[in-house]
Amino acid sequence: MPGPLKTEGIVLRSLRYGEADRILHLYTPDRGRVSAIAKGVRRARSRFGGRLEPFFRVALVLYEGRSDLLTVTSAETVTGHARLREDAGALDAAGRAGDAVLRLFGDGEPQAPVFHLLCAELALLDADPAAATRANQLAFRLKLLLAAGLSPQLGSCASCGEREGVAGFSGAAGGVVCTACEAGSFALDEAAHAFLVEALGAPLAATPAAPERALRQAERAIAETVEHHAGVRLRAATARA
Ligand SMILES: [Zn+2]
C-alpha cells in the first residue's frame, strides 16, 4: 500500500547511484533490511546533509511506492557514532557486524531484537573504539544466532544429551558433543566452551576475554553453526586481539 513509513534505521551500506543519488541498505526494527533511494544526497546543499553515511542511526520517513525500493523523504540523526567512524578498528568491526546481520536476516522480516542488538554494538564501539576486539565480534555473532533461533546447544551433548565428557563441537549436530558422538566434530577446549557460554549470557560491554586458541575454536563453532543451519558464510572476525 503506497504511503509514508516512519521508522528508525541504521545505515549499513551506501552506494552511489546516478548523478547525485545513493541507494541505502538500512536495517530497521519493523521491516528488517530495506533498500531505499536518497535522491540528490550527493549534492553539496542536500537537505540530508551527511546523515546518510554508514553507521548513522536515523529517524526516517520513507515513501513506499510500488517498487521494493523505498524513497527517503526525511532523515534526522538519532546518533551519528562519530568516534566509531574515526577509528579504523571500530569501523572495521562495525562493518563486519552489519555484514553478519545482512547475511543472516532477510528482507522484510520484523527483527526488533536484531535492530536493538546492532544499536548496542554500535553504541559500544562508539563509546570505546578499543572494544572492537575479536571476542566482542564473536559475542555479537552469538547473540545474533540467538535472535535467529540458531543458538548452539552448550549445556549437554547436542546428539545424545550426555552432560559429561563433552569435548567437541559439531555444527551439524548444533552444539557441543560428547566423545561417543564426536564424529564430524572438532575439538573444543574448556576455555572455548566457557567463552561461548559466558559471551552468550553477558551484555556485549562485559564480553569475557579468552586465549587466542579458544577464540579461534569459538569462531569455528559459530561459523559451522551458521553454515549448517542457515546456509550462510560469515566474514572472518579479524579484529584487535
Ligand atoms: Zn553424545
Four-residue CA torsion sign, 220, 131, 85, 81: positive
Q: What is the mean predicted confidence (pLDDT) over 223-233? A: 94
Question: What is the distance in A from the centroid of ligand 1 to the CA of 118?
Answer: 35
Whole-number pLDDT of residue 240: 60
| Mean pLDDT for the stretch of residues 113-127 | 97
User: pLDDT digit string (tens) for 153-173?
Assistant: 999 999 999 999 999 999 999
pLDDT band at 1 (very low <50, low <70, confident <90, very high): low
Residue 151: CB partners within 8 Å, gap ≥ 6? 142, 145, 200
214 alpha carbon to ligand 1 midpoint, in Å? 22
Ligand 1 midpoint to CA 164 (Å)? 9
Report how far ligand 1's centroid is from the alpha carbon of 32 (Å): 37
pLDDT at 217 over 80: yes
Task: Determine the distance separating the centroid of ligand 1 and the alpha carbon of 222, expressed in angstroms.
Answer: 19
201: CA distance to ligand 1 center in Å?
24
Cα 209 to averaged position of ligand 1 atoms, centre (Å): 28
Print burial letters for 145-179: b (CB count within 10 Å at least 16), e (below 16). Answer: bebbebbbbbebbbbeeeeeebbbbbbebbbbbbe
Q: Is the pLDDT of residue 241 over 80?
A: no
Q: What's the rounded Cα separation, in Å, for the pair 87 and 89? A: 6
Question: pTM (2 decimals)?
Answer: 0.93
Distance 177 CA to ligand 1 centre (A): 5
Collect residues with CB below 5 Å from ion ligand 1.
Answer: 157, 159-160, 162, 178, 181
Look at residue 24 in the predicted model and tell me its pLDDT. 96
Tell me how far apart the alpha carbons of residues 37 and 25 are, in angstroms, rounded to a whole number. 9
Mean pLDDT of 62-82: 93
Per-residue pLDDT tens digits for 19-69: 999 999 999 999 999 999 999 998 888 888 889 999 999 999 999 988 889
Residue 188 Cα to ligand 1 middle (Å): 14
Q: Is the dihedral of CA 210, 211, 212, 218 positive or negative?
A: negative
**Bridge partner residues of 62 (DSSP):** 5, 72
Percentage of the residues of the chain whose pLDDT score is greater than 90? 86
Mean pLDDT, range 93-107, rounded to an integer? 92
Q: pLDDT at position 16, please?
A: 94
Distance 153 CA to ligand 1 centre (A): 12
- The mean predicted confidence, pLDDT, of the chain is 93
Largest CA distance in the chain: 67
